[in-house]
Amino acid sequence: MEKASTDIIGQSDGPTSIWVATSSYLVPVVAVVCLAIVLTVAFIVVRRKKK
């Protein structure tokens, strides 16, 4: 376990800038996806309660 975590920490020194760029770009996409999932689940629950 400890060896794997140190490997990940060592590798993260290089592509951190790439990761920050992609994560900042993906934040709105992830937010929209989460909203869509929540709305879909809520819609299904409401429809089941009405029956």
pLDDT tens track for 1-51: 455 544 555 555 555 666 666 667 778 888 899 999 999 999 999 999 887
User: What pTM value is reported for the model?
Assistant: 0.48
Amino acid at 35: L
| CA dist 45 → 5, 32, 33, 36, 37 (Å) | 41, 20, 18, 14, 12
| Each residue's pLDDT tens digit, 4-18 | 544 555 555 555 666
Per domain, the residue ranges of the chain are 2-50
> Chain centroid to CA 43: how far?
22
> Chain centroid to CA 30: how far?
6
Residue partners of 12: CB distance under 8 A and separation at least 6: 19
